[in-house]
Structure 1
Amino acid sequence: MRAVQREPLDANNPLRFTVLRVPFFLEPEYPRDEAWSETNRTRLERKWGGKREFDAQKRRHRLKERGEDVGIKHFNLDRLASSTMASHRLVQWVTKNHGCTASETLYNDLNKRHFEDGQKLNDKRMLAEAAARVGVDANEAMEFLQSGEGEMEIEGALLILRKMGINSIPNFIVGAQHILSGAVHSSELIKLFRQIERTGKGAPDSAFAAVLGIGDDVIARPLDASYNEASA
């Protein structure tokens, strides 16, 4: 997105982006109890049927190399895996109340805290601290996290995903009409963005905004290209 925004085909009419992170659960049956967790190594070895099978998957998908390509020096294999409901709720709440630039910055910070630092995504104290770093009052964030607010919206988004036949991540829904599945290279996204830029056939709204309770004013406010520059 930054590459397209910084070098628009038409300087007088640059492409504008709004990003909504649609919730998805890799482990929907995980207990939502904040005290519960397991290591990601345990989860993946169970998923693939043992250590040997998991090692084969790592070699096949080249996740370490893909991470290094985008500046992630180390994936913490023994990071704490837990229910992600609280983190999904927080991201959506921040989007509603502070906009997509704030929620994208939060999302990137949570990714680092989890995938690199190994922190678990149902730790409410950690989540409130992360929210405070993007300008959200930590006490308000904690009060929200202690409530059940937002869970119904999350469930509604998951229902739409199932109806669309999306049952894995990553998936990118661009312009409400293009779906790119899998760990696509940034060049594929840039190619699609340039196509939309040339034709002007983007999307005026989001397929998920209504079910997630995201207002039109948030959708109309474009993502700031300079967000989270430190991780660029």
Structure 2
Amino acid sequence: MTSRTPQPARIRTRVTVPLRFGDGYRVDADVVTFHDLADGAEHLALGLGDPGASTTPLVRLHSECLTGDVFGSARCDCGPQLREAVERIAERGGYLLYLRQEGRGIGLYNKLDAYALQDRGLDTYAANAALGLPEDGRDYTAAAQMLQTLGAPRIDLLSNNPDKAGQLAALGITVAERVPTGVHASPSNLRYLRTKATGTPLTLGHGLELLSEGA
């Protein structure tokens, strides 16, 4: 895979934001914004714990999910993954990159259109295809820029998704280890998680292990 290291971004501002989750967990985040990101989107980096404590900080690339992160939708595992990632990164030191890539890059309205097709029996990837949309339209060039700007060209990546590690490596970021997240299964999202675990020729699966219907 050919490396194509992007031009670095510039830090726009830093501000401390106290985070509080519904279960009572609290932590302070050093929130960083940027100039010159490749896609022009308003992505955020949240520094948690002591990111400089290790030469390989723990990093999560978390794609925005309004329905899961904000409203607690049980149709996906995004909200629980966000909660898990913040605590694990804070304990070790690193960054959570909150990327404005709703619906794996297709946008909020298209994501809800895909949900309607899923209610008729299509899986998440087939629903996107039926709408003429990519299975996964995310590009992590801006994430690589953010990591280079933050002085984190070598990381441990908190993710079940091999595509994230592959794209970062192609963009000049060294992924020393891919650290799996937990499996946040419920009756409402089990089919969605199984689809991710099975994968497609493009996505290659997320390495999830769903042991039973009640997992």
Q: Same fold by TM-score, threshold 0.5 exceeded?
A: no
| Higher helix residue share | 1
TM superposition score normalised by structure 2: 0.25
* Structure number with bigger Rg: 1
TM superposition score normalised by structure 1: 0.24
| Higher strand residue share | 2
